[in-house]
Structure 1
């Protein structure tokens, strides 16, 4: 069984997986982001996840700064989970996974559609060059060492 950490990896993707790479994690974040779920009972009812697993994931999201808690109705014992800016920054990741799944894992077609609220247009994921604005395909992306590269 794989552990939760990838100490040997100096890789931002691996570090991201340490936070959101477990089975229920992205589904919990999806429901918080797009279904408006904020309460423990809403997540559990919507996903059917075991309470101990849900509790563990939500606690980890709060520790990692993806979510914060807020008391409901002034009661300290009851609270809701609110996505932080850090958590909301995962939106393109969730949409990209869905777009991939729609293409390769949805034989009857997409079960849900992400649309622009303003005009109703479908979302499209792009890789765009910051300097020239070109839309890039995977074969046009070069990889080079960054400032966080460890040298020995």
Structure 2
């Protein structure tokens, strides 16, 4: 499958990857959710080319993940602000960080700390079933086509 075809694939993972599937887009989204809003800020933090940042910001804006808002007229400059789509993807990035802490530690890395603003407790992100609230563990999920006829 070609990269530019992912957005139209039936698979929701492929469609998600069409938006944040390359490292630069995911890292720009990470930084935007941590408060970076300006082109120069993204470029400085990532250390990649200006062209790379420009292309990724354009894709994230076109995908509705970031909103471009002018903060200066001459020369024209923009803030790139997270949308509701971006904030929802923040949960995906949080689970990716949890996985990276567990499975890809480095000799100098420290696990990322997380504190819930509402209660003040530190926490470990956990997926739970929306119906019974039991944590979802690897191997505890069956996938199916909800439109397929159910057998009785």
**Which TM-score bucket, shorter chain as reference?**
0.7 to 0.9
Q: Secondary structure at the match of 1:124?
A: coil
Distance in 2, matches of 1:8 and 1:91, equals 23
Tell me which residue corresponds to 1:58.
Answer: 57
Tell me which residue corresponds to 1:129.
Answer: 129
Tell me which residue corresponds to 1:79.
Answer: 78
Instruction: Measure how far apart 1:135 and its partner are.
Output: 1.6
Q: Could you list the per-position Cα deviations for residues 97-146 of structure 1 after superposition, in whole angstroms to 9, with x for gaps in the alignment? A: 11111111113342642333455533322221222222221221111113
Distance in 2, matches of 1:119 and 1:130, equals 21
Instruction: Give the superposed CA RMSD.
Output: 2.4
Identify unmatched segments of 5+ residues in structure 1: none
TM-score by length of 2: 0.84
Q: Secondary structure at the match of 1:136?
A: coil
TM-score by length of 1: 0.84
Q: Could you list the per-position Cα deviations for residues 2-50 of structure 1 after superposition, in whole angstroms to 9, with x for gaps in the alignment? A: 523337842101110011101211110001102x100000001111121
Identify unmatched segments of 5+ residues in structure 2: none
Q: Secondary structure at the match of 1:82?
A: strand
Residues 49-58 or 72-81, more deviating: 72-81
**1:95 is the counterpart of 2:94:** yes
Instruction: Measure how far apart 1:80 and its partner are.
Output: 0.5
Tell me which residue corresponds to 2:45.
Answer: 46
Return closer, same or farther for 1:114/1:70 CA change in 2, 3 Å cut-off.
same
Q: Secondary structure at the match of 1:133?
A: coil
How many residues in Structure 1 have an aligned counterpart in Structure 2?
Answer: 147
